[in-house]
Structure 1
């Protein structure tokens, strides 16, 4: 895989990050280790996880982090990886109660260090925001953890554009380390988050895109393949005309995009899934899509997208701007 530098850091990531949601839950240790081994063999070095994965299921809490920690320990490969995780997410039973205080953030960082079996985290993410909390306090809390050597760099996920700008401005005016990357929901699919079950999610929009382009801020998007939406539509496993497709994706825009995806994928001789990922890899600022794989076949299919880059005209065609 090609390498992508996370802007403003010394982190050099593989072009695709591997999603860690199923590790230790839907996939047992043996299956999880095998998939991460295969990803590493392809040159992958960033496995995305979070304190909350997969706490919505019965059983061990934060099992994804623990599984990745055991894998790194058994393989002795920690120094070859960008160790990353997310925290400051509300408890699953009380999603309406924020956990963004300095104490909450520190508690999650220290818990993640133990489960991942590392002495520092290379890129630490705040999983959610709390608009009622002063952004300066949040930036100060993260910088304190950097000074203590517990984390090196930090990013944010599910923050709105205005809060990102406010945080970056605070860091600049106080001589502090800013956020190094953003992890929004983002894919080729148009999305209506008013229809999402989780109303705390934030997707890439025009304003956020402009911010990334202006600042060169790195994007490491989740749901980068829209849960396989276009592949399933192309194969007839989903329809935009009934409840087989998620409500947030049922739109005329996605219907039009499907037609263009099919046309361009056929022209290039690649799978729909690979075109969807190559679109993400062809953005005008550093973009490292997180791929959600449960099998070697899915991983191999995604890796093939790394060989394809689209022109500005092709990206505009898929965006319905041409």
Structure 2
């Protein structure tokens, strides 16, 4: 499986990143089967978050790591500081609390990539960078990143880090997919636009895309006439996306793959380093994503998918 480099890590990350949201100690057979199949296919990066499954996902992955003794081979990507019922939690205290709890659940000594799950623009970047660098210096985190931040805030934070000889954000994790969202799928989420893509191209900052397959928009399960799934209608139903679906379908036939695999290949063939976070519900879906990771799209094919 193809890999990309992330500054601060001692091993590269596989472009397909396995999501853990459905894992828990109560379904270890399912989690173990997916994790083992993923590693056997060459994958080495697992997506986690403090809030996933109320912490059960981290516990399940921790049990698997202990059972397989694969900790040194795996890149753990974990996220914290997600808002709660009282609002944003991007504070040094909340970051430390979530980090310590995640380390305990995972039964590990450090997390390879630690991301902030949301932003709070009222908190100065220097407060956040200082807090995260304390954990890097303590050996609890190797690299830091953000999920659902604007590129402007990332640039501001990294400029502060560089000026003060600190470590800045090495990874960004917004929504990037062939289907463009009408509105955020969840509150506080950020989707990439053309300006963001240009910024990533210029800076070559790795992007880890969530909802990289647009919630199954390209699987063939949805049509313009089928309005049953209200969330899909709200987020992805528009004529631009249906046109992109038709172009992806045409290119898929030409290359002998599925439309959904073309959608994933679109994310992985950007002019900057990318990974795709996936959440397969079975081995077949995992294998389909792995096939997609080996599909090469030319600059012309990428432009055709986007613009027709």
**So what's the TM-score if we normalise by structure 2?**
0.95
What whole-Å deviation, never above 9, does each CA across 1:208-254 have from its counterpart, x for those lacking one? Answer: 212211110000111011111111xx3xx322343433311011111
Distance in 1 of aligned mates of 2:16 and 2:150:
24
Q: Please say if residues 148 and 173 of structure 2, whose CA atoms lie closer than 8 Å, have aligned partners that are also in contact.
A: yes
What whole-Å deviation, never above 9, does each CA across 1:117-150 have from its counterpart, x for those lacking one? Answer: 1001111010011111111100010001100111
- Quote the residue 1:305 is aligned against: 292
2:198 equivalent among 205, 210, 221? 210
Alignment of 1:1-322 (within 5 A): 1-7=1-7, 9-24=9-24, 28-54=27-53, 61-91=54-84, 94=85, 96-193=86-183, 196=185, 198-231=186-219, 234=220, 237-241=221-225, 242-244=227-229, 245-320=232-307, 322=308
Distance in 2 of aligned mates of 1:103 and 1:118:
21
Q: 1:9: Cα distance to partner?
A: 4.3
| Structure 1: stretches of 5+ with no match in the other structure | 55-60
Q: Please say if residues 7 and 143 of structure 2, whose CA atoms lie closer than 8 Å, have aligned partners that are also in contact.
A: no
Q: Please say if residues 7 and 286 of structure 1, whose CA atoms lie closer than 8 Å, have aligned partners that are also in contact.
A: no
Q: 1:44: Cα distance to partner?
A: 0.6
Q: 1:306: Cα distance to partner?
A: 2.0
Q: Please say if residues 23 and 56 of structure 2, whose CA atoms lie closer than 8 Å, have aligned partners that are also in contact.
A: yes
Distance in 2 of aligned mates of 1:9 and 1:77:
16
Q: Please say if residues 92 and 131 of structure 2, whose CA atoms lie closer than 8 Å, have aligned partners that are also in contact.
A: yes
- Quote the residue 1:57 is aligned against: none
Tell me the secondary structure at the aligned position of residue 209 of structure 2. Answer: coil
Q: 1:160: Cα distance to partner?
A: 1.2
Tell me the secondary structure at the aligned position of residue 75 of structure 2. Answer: coil
Label 1:132 to 1:181 Cα distance change in 2 as closer, same or farther (>3 A): same
What whole-Å deviation, never above 9, does each CA across 1:193-212 have from its counterpart, x for those lacking one? Answer: 25x3x221111112221221
**So what's the TM-score if we normalise by structure 1?**
0.91
Give the 4+ runs in structure 1 shifted more than 4 A: none
Distance in 2 of aligned mates of 1:104 and 1:270:
45
